[in-house]
């Protein structure tokens, strides 16, 4: 089953809230406020927000009026950027590991052991490329505005 990890899910919840705050003209929001509002574990959320700060998706300000805020407009942040910041390289299947991920080639020793004889290798590679392209097209703005994203993904294997 394909699904978002708890970390990615919480990250998107936090980003959606920061996006709402931005749209309403609000300033920085504390991790504690986000955690309390959505019942998220604060230490887990703080580590997640740290990853998002390091990737440049959000900013962090210290002090009594400090907190977290989106670093740019939601329409400029893709779902792929968010998932890579939270989870690391996005890889659909092992047989896609010769594809560039985040601009890097994976090491040959990580390749699938049956890749040379596998009858579904190329269709899976094409699916990986399509999913990656889709994640690069969907922005936080698309998610915040609850736009229909499914129509953007037309997979032909």
Q: Name the domain count of the chain.
A: 2
Give yes or no for a contact between 40 and 34, defined as CB atoms under 8 angstroms apart: yes
Handedness of CA 18, 20, 21, 25 (dihedral sign): positive
**CATH number of the domain bearing residue 61:** 1.10.10.10
Q: Is residue 157 a part of any domain in this protein? A: no
Residue 1 lies in a domain: no
Domain closes at, from 22, 44, 70: 70
In order of 68, 74, 75, 142, 144, the CA distances from 23 in angstroms are 14, 10, 12, 14, 10
- pLDDT attached to residue 110: 54
| More confidently predicted of 129 and 93 | 129
Domain span holding position 107: 74-152
Indicate whether 10 and 58 sit together in one domain.
Answer: yes
How do the residues of the chain divide into helix, strand and coil, expressed in percent and rounded to 5?
50, 10, 40
Strand partners, 58: 70
Q: Is the pTM of this model over 0.85?
A: no
Confirm whether 86 is domain-assigned.
yes
Residue 134 has pLDDT above 70, yes or no: yes
Q: Give the model's pLDDT for residue 54.
A: 96
| Co-location of 84 and 114 in the same domain | yes
How far is 101 from 154, CA to CA, in rounded Å? Answer: 21
> Per-residue pLDDT tens for 53-108?
999 999 999 988 889 999 999 999 999 999 999 998 877 776 665 544 444 444 44
Read off the pLDDT of residues 37-57 as tens digits, 9 standing for 90 and up.
999 999 999 999 999 999 999
More reliable by pLDDT, 136 or 90: 136
- In this structure, the answer to whether residues 50 and 81 fall within a common structural domain is no
């Amino acid at each position: 089953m394909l699904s978002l990890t708890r970390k990615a899910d919480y990250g998107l919840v936090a980003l959606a809230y920061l996006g709402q705050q931005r749209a309403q003209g609000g300033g920085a929001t504390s991790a504690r406020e986000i955690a309390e509002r959505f019942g998220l574990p604060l230490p887990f959320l703080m580590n997640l927000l740290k990853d998002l700060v390091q990737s440049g998706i959000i900013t962090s300000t210290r002090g009594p009026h400090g907190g977290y805020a989106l670093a740019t407009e939601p329409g400029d942040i893709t779902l792929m950027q968010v998932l890579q910041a939270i989870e690391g390289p996005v890889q659909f299947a092992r047989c896609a590991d010769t594809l560039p991920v985040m601009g890097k080639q994976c090491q040959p020793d990580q390749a699938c052991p049956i890749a040379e004889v596998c009858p579904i290798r190329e269709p899976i590679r094409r699916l990986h490329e399509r999913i990656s392209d889709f994640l690069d097209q969907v922005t936080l703005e698309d998610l915040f505005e609850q736009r229909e994203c499914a129509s953007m993904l037309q997979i032909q294997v």
